[in-house]
Amino acid sequence: MTPPWIEAMRLRTLPVSVAGVVAGCAYAVADGCFRLLPAALCLAFAVLAQIASNFANEYFDYKAGFDTQTRVGPRRGVSCGDISPRSMLLATAGALAMACMVGCSLIYFGGWWLLPAGVLIALGALAYSAGPYPLSRHCLGEVAVIVFFGIVPVNLTYYVQALTFTRSVLYCSIAIGLLGAMVIMCNNYRDIAEDRQTGKHTIATVIGHRGMAWLYFASGVAAYAMLGHGQTIASDAVLVLTVFGFLGLIRRDFSPAWCTKLLAITSLSMLLTSILLFV
């Protein structure tokens, strides 16, 4: 059995944060402005921020009663009694503090305006599950992922190396964000029955299994279109993933384990797509 703290990090989802940084670096390499140190700092910041967000999601979902011992997804350490709520809260604060320290070091490369940007990113990591209006419980989880795992990391990773923004990087960031949203779609598709029972509102609980299958497909096609200009190999990989995932979701004879596997496949495919951008 996977150790509780490792499970709480949700390793299946960490390629989502890595992909945005890799994509930004791919464009920096192509434009001849790649810098290893700021790129590495962006990677560390992205991974730590996502771990903090994952810890916060587990803690606040448990406090709100959304994670129960009967959940169909991967085991949750807090709800199963493997990790105390206080320990998870402290771990969330620790991971977020480490992310902030790494993020502050990027000011040297990109300027002081990155400080308020970093504050907004930190608040976004918490706002997904916490605060007066948690995004994941009000049908905004996919939107948050597009912004904080696509648009923000790709553009900022490129900026701290090139000190400018470009339209092509923006298009890529939207595509990467859409792929990240597809990861969340797999999670919410799997949890429709449980989320409806506990009162958690997601896009999936509103439009149902068939609607989510088509949303997954539409997001993949949109990502394909965003990458289609001059990125044939990467965009083709997105199209293959989209068709594979859609055919599986539209059948509706799914199992929770299968949905969890598709989540991992979509996450890894997102990372593969960003790597293929180098090609």
pLDDT in the model for residue 72: 62
Whether 26 has a pLDDT exceeding 60, the answer reads yes
Euclidean distance between CA atoms 161 and 153, whole angstroms: 13
Euclidean distance between CA atoms 226 and 137, whole angstroms: 28
Pick the CATH number of 4-276 from 1.10.600, 1.20.144, 3.40.1130, 1.20.1070: 1.10.600
**Closest C-alpha to 12, from 265, 254, 182, 185:** 265
pLDDT in the model for residue 215: 96
Euclidean distance between CA atoms 151 and 47, whole angstroms: 16
Q: Which has the higher per-residue pLDDT, 26 or 62? A: 26
Euclidean distance between CA atoms 184 and 275, whole angstroms: 21
Total residues found in the chain within this entry: 279
CA atoms within 13 A on the CB side of 173: 23
> Going by C-beta distance under 8 Å and a sequence separation of 6 or more, which residues neighbour residue 67?
58, 61, 76, 78, 79
Q: Provide the residue type at 150 as one letter.
A: G
pLDDT in the model for residue 71: 62
Whether 69 has a pLDDT exceeding 80, the answer reads no
For 103-114, write each residue's pLDDT tens digit: 999 999 999 999
254 CB-contact burial (10 Å; exposed 0-12 / middle 13-18 / buried 19+): middle
pLDDT in the model for residue 219: 96
Whether 68 has a pLDDT exceeding 80, the answer reads no
The separation between the first and the last C-alpha atoms of the chain, rounded to the nearest angstrom, is 38
Q: Which has the higher per-residue pLDDT, 269 or 233? A: 269
pLDDT in the model for residue 150: 95
Residue 33 sits at φ, ψ, to 5 deg, of -125, 20
Q: Dihedral of the CA atoms 79, 83, 88, 94 (nearest 10)?
A: -160
Whether 28 has a pLDDT exceeding 70, the answer reads yes
- Cβ neighbours, 10 Å, residue 70: 8
92 CB-contact burial (10 Å; exposed 0-12 / middle 13-18 / buried 19+): buried
For 150-205, write each residue's pLDDT tens digit: 999 999 999 999 999 999 999 999 999 999 999 999 999 998 988 898 888 999 99
Residues 164, 195 contacting (CB under 8 angstroms): no
For 79-92, write each residue's pLDDT tens digit: 777 889 999 999 99
Provide the pLDDT confidence category of residue 277 given band limits of 50, 70 and 90: confident
Give me the residue spans of the domains in the chain.
Answer: 4-276
**Closest C-alpha to 273, from 101, 7, 16, 33:** 16
> Going by C-beta distance under 8 Å and a sequence separation of 6 or more, which residues neighbour residue 148?
121, 124, 125, 128
149 CB-contact burial (10 Å; exposed 0-12 / middle 13-18 / buried 19+): buried
Euclidean distance between CA atoms 100 and 269, whole angstroms: 28
pLDDT in the model for residue 202: 95
pLDDT in the model for residue 167: 93
For 112-163, write each residue's pLDDT tens digit: 999 998 888 888 888 888 888 889 889 999 999 999 999 999 999 999 999 9
pLDDT in the model for residue 194: 87
For 205-262, write each residue's pLDDT tens digit: 999 999 999 999 999 999 999 887 556 788 888 989 999 899 888 876 667 788 888 9
